[in-house]
Chain A
Amino acid sequence: MRFGRTPEQHAFSEALDDLLGAADVPSAARAWAGDDRSAGLKIWQRLAELSVTGLLVPESDGGVGADPVDLTVAFERLGYHGVPGPWIESVAVAPRLLGGTPEAGVLSRVASGEALVSVASGGRALDADVVEQTYALESRVGLDTPPPPPLVEPGERQRAGVETNTVASATLSRATVGSEQKSVDPSRRLFDVTAGDEVVTLDPRPALELGTLACAAMLHGAGLRLLDDSVAYVKQRTQFGRPIGEFQAVKHLLADVRVALDFAAPLIHNAALELDAEVPTAARAVSAAKVAAGDAAYLASRTALQVHGAIGYTREFDLSLWILRVRALVGAWGTPAEHRARILESLVVEPVETPSRGEI
């Protein structure tokens, strides 16, 4: 039995830290929010050189054909460093979604970092204004039934999102980009989209699961960052003549964050393994990872804000980048309620294998 990252994956993670730690990502994220994408795109190129953009692209298309665990390693670090841009869409979703379709040609350029693409999730697409192409997905219930309303119909967004995650057949189209919507995280540039030229009908689920998994890993990484920054801060901030980290009230808050993050990690790792093995419970595992990572990261953000006090409540202090990012990602790629419902349904409908005594 072996459950955990390989030495190569640890090394990959460290290489990403080296690169991103020196890249002044917070400034790039702020500029991205303010319409200047140059620094963010430069980071995109540097990460492309480390093959991040080609992780899931097959070797035949110039990618590295890595597995979902590698994906989680990369996205955890992207989350940790707060990198802006359509990473989930271009790197986690597009390869599986577009592979084998008439759009597959773009993948080699995705791998090389030349092309960014976006995929609408829940009716809106991230960074549709900078990518080469935005894609939309419409769920198809059956050939004879008319397709349900487009994902962007107001009020229908939530349910449409679930449908694409659970419905086996969807229409992939090149999307028409509409107006921008303001997100709680200013570096998340969201655009309404409508379906345009139809490309193909496909099963979108494997690609969407990879997107959800990447989002979970990103949340986990953001949570780790919030914890690290908070621990550093409470050692240095003094009140009442001592570092505030000496107060048990502060210590306990931070310890609870560590517990939550530590227990999200194995769920993410397992979901990656299950997706790779294409086992029937993979979707449930992905949902569990997303829920746990979202809860842990949100706890980290709440706690980070609280132990920082007023300075954490400001935009100019970098902590806010992660606080706002986490708030947005918690509800992206399926809300906690949707994922919990999916887990519950799976547990109730599919028989759960009870582990043998030896396994307990």
Chain B
Amino acid sequence: MGNAPGREERGPQTLPRERSQFGDKLTAHLKRKKKEEEREKLLETRYTNLVVRYQETVDGGYLAPYGTYKAFPDYDTLVVKLLITERKLAPFYSPLDDFDETWTQEELLVVLMNNLRLFLPNRTAEDEEIDDADDHKLHKSQTLMKRLEQKQKLKALIERTIKQQKKEQLRYNHDRQQAFVSENGSTRYPSIPSNDLLLALYGNAIECPICFVYYPPHMNYSRCCEQPICTECFVHIRRNEPHPPHDVPEEEATDPESLISLPANCPFCAMPDFGVTYTPPLLICTGIQGSCAPAEFSIYTRNDLVIEEEEGSSKPKTRARAISAAISLSHSGMGSPRNSVEAGLARSSVDAGLVRRLNDGSAASSNTNLEAPKRRGSLAASAPGVITTDAIQPDWETKLMSARARIARRSAAATAIHASSLIIQGDETSDIDRRRLFRRTGSAQEQLAIEERMIQQAMKLSLLEEEQRQHTERARRGE
């Protein structure tokens, strides 16, 4: 208040129409700015959530992906974190590249010590293919510049994320080492998994049929055909990009409403609306919302299991493997929604079976009283316990909208190009050729620069106008 009083003389009635136009423009601009800030904040949160932290552990796995896929995934990190801590989706486990059933437990432990990492090493921001689909640059210089800026910001964000992840890896390495050598390591580093836990998890590792690396056997299972799939693969499966109907080539689509976006199909049986179920391991419940810390997990201290020392054990380590075997059996094709009556029954019968097996010391023998639970059968996408791809990728609608807007803009631009005399070549020139043509002649570049200047000027004007508008507004209110 009270600043720049000299402007009052200009009065509100000199620029009524322009003022309101610029005012609208500015409001829109500020709105966009705010939206942009919100978007950036969301993005920041998302990337923070993509860092694997070893203390954030559920049943020996983690809340963020290892990085088997080059690109950082696109899923809703908050939803997935929640689903994992609620044991409705398998945690992200560190994968093993190779696995051999004939390894002894000592051998397996050595392999695990040497190979389990929180995340894929040597990841760089250069690996990130940053989406740039909106490539019809003419007439949209402002959007283009903004996208370039966003791209830079995203790259910086990814670099920060990778740095953060490296720190977490170092902390993990350090703590694991300390937990191993120090006297009360398991109490000082409760989130470092015990050997028993590692063996119980990886003793019967299975290969994910999509990424070809090995994971603990309690994977997610497809709702329709009960095939295993690791959580990292699951979060990378998403709807196809919105696309025109089959017989229309991408570049020739002109009707925004004709664009199709369908829920992802099951990768294994092509059933529409892909979803998975997950049953947590019966005997492992560590970390967040678990019954003990990962360091405390021991097959010897579970008092609901009757375990006796094996006499003169030639195989001193079959027990953890037996647990692992029981887990793997209880998971092969079951995956019924947890907390159901059946799950409770299955739990007690598997526990009993396990005790018998442990007493037998026969982890590998297949003919025991431990029955594999009945196959679950196919479930509807809406059945309780089913997590669909759409449920963790809720942004498909936004994507469809922007793809539609893109087509609408493109056909408008194409019409404009036709009308102007910019086209040198004949009518058969495709959209792509046209774009190439412009790039080569450089006219697009020039146009860009001019438009940029114009926009900057308009922005400056509009800011001035807004300042004045506020001023006169205040004057009118008599402040």
Whether A and B are associated in the same complex: the answer reads no
Question: A interface vs B, CB < 8 Å?
Answer: none
